[in-house]
Amino acid sequence: MEDYQIRKFTIGKPLNTGAVVMEGLVSEDFKADEKGCFSINTAFGESLCIDLTSKEISFNMPEDLYVYGLGETIRGINKRGWQYFSNNSDEPHHEEAKRSLYAAHNFLILDDGKKCFGLFIDHPGKVDFDIGYTDPDLLTIRFEDMDFDLYIFDGKEPAELVKGLRGLTGRSYIPPKWAFGYGQSRWGYKTADELRAVAKGYKELGIPIDMIYMDIDYMQDFKDFTVNPERFPDFPAFVQEMKDQGIHLVPIIDAGVKMEEGYDVYEEGVKNDFFCKKEDGTNLVAAVWPGKVHFPDFLNSKAREWFGDKYKVLTDAGIEGFWNDMNEPAIFYTEDHLKEVFAEIKNLENKELDIWGFFQFRGLIETIANNPEDYKRFYHDFDGVKVRHDKVHNLYGFYMTRAAGEAFERNNKDKRILMFSRASYIGMHRYGGVWTGDNMSWWSHILLNIWQMPSLNMTGFLYSGADTGGFGCDTTEDLLMRWIQVSMFTPLFRNHSALGTREQELYRFKDMNSFKNMIELRYALIPYIYSEFMKAALNDGMYIKPLSFEYRTDKRARETEDQILVGDSIMIAPVYQQNKTGRYVYLPEDMKLLRFRSYNDFDEEELPAGDHYINANLNEVLVFLRPGHILPLTTPAQNVAALNFRDLSYIGYKAAPGSFTLYTDEG
């Protein structure tokens, strides 16, 4: 008997998105009144109203209600007080004014500290979550089409509702063990020699590293599944050379396929009708990195199988991990819209541009990328059903990653392959993780990273992390150090930055010794991190939790969103502001402070529950051990494969021996 119950309500005629794997759930009967409304009973009474006429779901939020969920979004852990759109967007400005990022994670938990329920809306189009934006006390969920499956989760605790979602949508993706190591990435590495130099930079200092990422410049003219032969003369040999140093190369794959005669992926796709089509049946012509592209129709299972098998080109060369990018899909422009824009510009050419003309003119150029109208110009063959893209927009990244995941199951049976994606939808968590996209080297984005992690964990995306050090803008040494002190606890730990920004490989900075200490500490913690991650994955739990999930009735704990629980044993309280050598920390119970300077240099101090100002110099990380718990540590090594998972040392706090269960496997 599970600790949760799930009820299903089918509204209209929803498409099967593939999010749900649980079988045998039948929709409950409901009867709408003459106005087209009906209500669903929840822990809060007959409280959830479905209005089929105005196409919305509403719920009156009591004053002390917390709203969790939505996975990868902006703003805090409690989502109350803003409006969020599930509308996967290539959005490089992760500002609090925005409404969408790259993902659609339509899961909410409503909790007043005593009772709770959860809901998952399985709808692949745009969904508007107005969580006290229009009316501070009202949750309103709006749709363009009233075709969706609504799942209600009943349980006593938020964690049970999370479990329910996983029971419904399947177990979380598990990466290879080496994917818990540290990775260096940068948009701009072009040649094998440049990648060798990165490896050397780390090796010379003895800083552990498991991965170096290959961004779009490894390809020949940005063509998927090609490797530039001049820059990588013998690619398989190079992959092996890196592996001999304990480093995995992880290439990027983009959604768009370059249109070019003689390019096999293009030609096969055209021949077999595997690309997305316009109303008139011709292939949509869009533009992304390679210039003009077609978009593979990942929603068509035959196209999916074909595209998935292409990853073999790289796995045959020894590659064991990938990141899928631009799969919202991002569109620089479509050929059709560009024509319209040029025609309108011609029109304006001989006119005097008054202020409105000027805005119109500027708007023409500004809106060519990711234009909402462009997403209505093409169609999918969703296994026999023709659907306009915007109706299933949020599935595209999921199905691209599914293509890869299903192919790995076929072609790389007994092996785990690293896979994470930019765009996602619930259900994709079975096939890969996510990274949180193009953040900035801003202090506020460290905090955003802290907020996103528990929310992503709620929606099943356990293997996740942010571009450490910040993607856009110039980083600084202190920002990178503080960010590492957060990312060293996230399963995906990758330093990544954009072309044209300050280089941020660790060996470029002054206090390399502290960087080395931090990375070594990560490696010393990997037996713990891996153990806690695996337990969360196998038990449908969470690896990173908000304090409120554990200390549910403690109002202060609920409102503390800049401290998070990592696994069962520890809480972290990162410093995320510049020029600070400490911070206030709220302890919901007595805890033992571990102030780490390195894996073997740390202070221990027992602290009573309550508020404390805790010092933390730039080279110090604050970890709080919970009573009755144990933190295992190993001796760091140059990569995960060389780590000792057996001879561990243990730090305990009021814990009996045996209060920690270590999980390990061959990875």
Positions in the binding site for ligand MIG (CB under 6 A) = 187, 215-216, 252, 325-326, 422, 437-438, 496
Which residues, including other chains, have CB under 8 Å from residue 2's CB and lie 6 or more apart? Answer: 163, 164, 167
Q: Indicate the residue among 18 and 437 with the shorter CB distance to ligand MIG.
A: 437
The phi-psi region of residue 142 (left if phi > 0; otherwise alpha if psi is between -120 and 50; otherwise beta) is beta
Place of tokens 């949508």: 169
Q: Indicate the residue among 323 and 523 with the shorter CB distance to ligand MIG.
A: 323
User: What is the smallest separation between the CB atom of 250 and ligand MIG, expressed in angstroms?
Assistant: 12
Q: Indicate the residue among 422 and 522 with the shorter CB distance to ligand MIG.
A: 422
Which residues, including other chains, have CB under 8 Å from residue 19's CB and lie 6 or more apart? Answer: 120, 122, 169, 425, 426, 427
Q: Indicate the residue among 250 and 566 with the shorter CB distance to ligand MIG.
A: 250
**Chain position whose Cβ is nearest to ligand MIG:** 187
User: What is the smallest separation between the CB atom of 440 and ligand MIG, expressed in angstroms?
Assistant: 12
User: What is the smallest separation between the CB atom of 311 and ligand MIG, expressed in angstroms?
Assistant: 17
Q: Indicate the residue among 250 and 594 with the shorter CB distance to ligand MIG.
A: 250
* Cα–Cα dist 95/75, whole Å: 8
Residue 248, classed as helix, strand or coil, is strand
Catalytic residue among 149, 438, 550, 620: 438
Report which of 495, 491, 493 is spatially closest to residue 479, judged by C-alpha positions.
495
Q: Are 392 and 383 in contact (CB under 8 A)?
A: no
**Length of the chain (residues):** 667
Q: Is 316 a catalytic residue?
A: no
Residue 499, classed as helix, strand or coil, is coil
User: What is the smallest separation between the CB atom of 442 and ligand MIG, expressed in angstroms?
Assistant: 16
Catalytic residue among 325, 477, 520, 540: 325
Q: Indicate the residue among 47 and 464 with the shorter CB distance to ligand MIG.
A: 464
User: What is the smallest separation between the CB atom of 216 and ligand MIG, expressed in angstroms?
Assistant: 4
* Cα–Cα dist 510/507, whole Å: 8
* Cα–Cα dist 550/568, whole Å: 10
DSSP run (H or E) holding 564: strand 564-566
Report CA-CA distances (Å) from 65 to 60, 112, 456: 10, 4, 20
Catalytic residue among 72, 328, 520, 532: 328
User: What is the smallest separation between the CB atom of 363 and ligand MIG, expressed in angstroms?
Assistant: 21
Rg (CA), the chain: 25
Q: Which two tokens mark 126?
A: 């745009």
* Cα–Cα dist 90/81, whole Å: 24
Q: Is 29 a catalytic residue?
A: no
Cis peptide before 491 (omega within 30 of 0): no
Q: Indicate the residue among 437 and 470 with the shorter CB distance to ligand MIG.
A: 437
* Cα–Cα dist 211/249, whole Å: 6
User: What is the smallest separation between the CB atom of 437 and ligand MIG, expressed in angstroms?
Assistant: 5
| Biggest alpha carbon–alpha carbon distance for the chain | 83
Q: Is 63 a catalytic residue?
A: no
User: What is the smallest separation between the CB atom of 293 and ligand MIG, expressed in angstroms?
Assistant: 13
HSE (side-chain half, CA atoms, 13 Å) at 135: 10
* Cα–Cα dist 106/287, whole Å: 29
Q: Indicate the residue among 111 and 374 with the shorter CB distance to ligand MIG.
A: 374
Dihedral sign of CA atoms 22, 24, 29, 32 in order: positive
* Cα–Cα dist 228/283, whole Å: 27
The β-bridge partners of 60 are: 138
User: What is the smallest separation between the CB atom of 369 and ligand MIG, expressed in angstroms?
Assistant: 10
Active site residues: 325, 328, 438
